Every structure is written in C-alpha cells, then in structure tokens.
Structure 1
C-alpha cells in the first residue's frame, strides 16, 4: 500500500477532512502531520497575523479554528516535509489551499491551490469567479492570487468552514447575486456537505478544494483501482 504524506497548517489529524477524501484514495495510506502540532496556547498567540501578513486559517485538534501568519510556520512545514521524505512517502499533499513558497522535497509535493488554479482557469474563461474564503482579512490576498493566476473577474465572500458552516449557502447566494458564474470553496475546511448545501441554494458550478486534490492523488497513485 502506498503512503502519501498529508500536511495541515493546523493540527493533525484532520478528522474533518478525511471522511471526504479517504474513499477516493483506496489503496493509499495518508500519513498526517500538522504545522501546529504540540504548540501551546501561548505559542499559538505569538503567530497570529499582523497587518500585511499572508493569512492562513486552519483547524486545531480540539475542533476550534485558528488564524496565523504564514511566515511563522514555514520552517515547521519544511521540517515536516523533510521528515516525511525520510519516512519513505511516495508523495506529499498540502492540506491547505493557501499559496506557499518553494519547499525542498525529494518526492512530489502537491499544492491544492495550484490544482484549483488550473482547474478554475480551464473553465472560467471571461466569466466571473466567486471565491469563498474563511476570513475577511484574506480578501486582498485572495483577489490578488486569483487574478495573478489568470482569472480576470473575481468576487470574494467570507464564511468560515469551522464556525459558520450553516452560512455557506447564504454566502454563495451573495456571490451569485453579485454576478458569479462559478464558485471555488477556497479552503480545505470546506466539506462535501457544505458543497451540497451550496448547490441546493444556487444553481451554478462549484469546486471543492479537498476533493480536487484527492482525485488528483488518486489518479496518480491508486494503482488502477476504480475511483
């Protein structure tokens, strides 16, 4: 059985994510690690974002959400990548749709953000992309990232998958009312259930980060097993 490393920028295991992706990964074992594993409340407080920081939002082991400045966790992520390489992983998947700098890895390292980027760019064309992101502080970086990646028309709404899951349909309606032709649920925290609720509220296509990434991994590594 192949082993794939899975790194969350929060704390592992991501029991909120695995029910949606493990059925797609038959024949593959996920080895999870978290950039915030073992950190105390005081240490978590010290990595909160300040003005101008690239903001990430993730989940702690106790189910609560956490907001952090990306710059503080990059060395911790590189350390985990190095360890997973040494443990013999076939590849490594980032369980986060944020944008990251280059990390050193001897095995393939997959970023959901990149997969989402090409997926969306391939189908959106001149139409308007609606983006759901967990926190309003992420609006500037989200708009900039999607426009830099070739999407001309971008709308963003904030709804946390960790504390406001029931508000996803309402946020999707706001995006559609503003003119969105397609929606990206731009955080690993958004689930299949949230996507289904979105579809029941608005009749436009939607892309879910966690399953796009899982299907990509399955295509490469599930040894011909039926998806």
Structure 2
C-alpha cells in the first residue's frame, strides 16, 4: 500500500480548524484513493492560558490578525507577537517528517524552513490576484477587520487602488451586506482563509463579478503537489 502523503495544516488560531480543513480536504482529496493523505493540525494559540491569550491580543494601532479559537470565537491578535510564535511553531513542525506544511492565513510572513516545503497562503493568493488584477478596472478586496483596511497596503501590493471592505468570517457579519460596498468592481478576492463556500455564495449573490475564495486557491495548489 502506498505511503500516505502527510500534510500539516498550521493556523494562527487554535486547532482543529473545523471551519476550514474539512472543506479544503474535500477539494484536495477529490478523486484520490482513500487513505492517500494524512492530515495533522497545529495552532499558534494551542495550549495558551487566558493570561497568555490576553498578552497576544492586538493593542490599539497595532497590525493585527483576526483568527478563530477552538470554540469558534473570534480573537484579534498582534501581528508581531503572533508571527514570532508562528515561526517557533513552524520550526518544531519542520522536524516531524511532513511532506508539506500549509499555512492557513493570508497575512503571515515567515522564515524559511530547512526540511519541509511550505504553502504560504499569502503568496499563493496575492500572486494569483496580482496576475488577474493587472487587467481589472477595479479590484475589490474583502478583509476580516476594519482596522486591517487601514494598513492593508503596507503588507499587500496590488495594481491600481483596490476598494477594500471589512467583514469578519467569525463574528457573524452579513457578507452580502458588506459586499455591496464593492458594487462596480470587476474582480473580487475574499482575502482570508476563514471565508467559506457559504460566504462565497453570499458575496456572489451581491457582486456582479468573479469572486476568488482564498482557501480554494490554496487547496488547488496543494492538490497539485500530491
């Protein structure tokens, strides 16, 4: 029997990411023999005490991430402190014999690993959008947090002047209502791995343009590597 392909999914929140990984794996494993892929999940916030979680929350004015706790609650964390813990976690995962590590965040910057290939969601999504947006008259971007709208251009560079709106995938925001702010855009990207197929459908009902879902772009790349 062939040895299963081993994937480590790494979230900046807490694992397991029951809101992301099963949907991605349905795309990744479609048509593959049963048992072809083994999956393990890791989270930057796993095992942290309430005091430690408070210490990693974003302060006013800080660059931030919106992510998910194991109980489904949203937490807004400091980009700087989260990335420091993420790089330490990735160093440990790099030693565990995985064939591939998949980051479940479209905003992270990481250090290169020594042993394992990494699918960086941000690079996959941003490079795909960049390739398509060159010919777009108006790019629309949906982000999780209003505070991220203000500093988006410092961490992501897209052609033209993208129109940005905020809608949290974790706080119950009305996706269709928020997407109305992108009326007239001819390409839209849902720029967070937390956005689901159901949320994509809600946006597509509102926006008369192609809509890219980050987790689908990443899943497509992972599938090519198995």
TM-score by length of structure 2 reads: 0.89
Partner of 1:84: 93
Partner of 1:162: 170
Higher deviation after alignment, 116-125 or 49-58 = 49-58
Partner of 1:125: 134
Partner of 1:193: 198
1:116 aligns with 2:115: no
For 1:1-227, list aligned pairs within 5 A.
1-26=4-29, 27-126=36-135, 127-146=137-156, 148=157, 150-165=158-173, 167-176=174-183, 179-221=184-226
Partner Cα separation in structure 2 for residue 153 and residue 181 of structure 1? 13
CA displacement at 1:135 relative to structure 2: 0.8
Partner of 2:33: none
CA deviations on 1:58-99 (whole Å, 9 max, x unpaired) are 000011000011211233222321222221100111101113
Partner Cα separation in structure 1 for residue 98 and residue 46 of structure 2? 19
CA displacement at 1:118 relative to structure 2: 1.4
Instruction: Report the 3-state secondary structure (helix = DSSP H, G, I; strand = E; otherwise coil) of the residue aligned with 1:86.
Output: coil
Higher deviation after alignment, 187-196 or 21-30 = 21-30
- Structure with the higher fraction of residues in helix conformation: 1
Higher deviation after alignment, 208-217 or 95-104 = 95-104
Q: Is the 8 A contact 2:87 2:111 kept in 1?
A: no
Partner Cα separation in structure 2 for residue 50 and residue 79 of structure 1? 22
Aligned residues: 216
CA displacement at 1:51 relative to structure 2: 4.2
- Give 5+ residue unaligned stretches, structure 1: 222-227
- Give 5+ residue unaligned stretches, structure 2: 30-35
Q: Which runs of 4+ in 1 moved over 6 A?
A: none
Q: Comparing both chains, which one has the higher relative contact order based on Cα–Cα distances under 8 Å and sequence gaps of 6 or more?
A: 1
Instruction: Report the 3-state secondary structure (helix = DSSP H, G, I; strand = E; otherwise coil) of the residue aligned with 1:56.
Output: strand
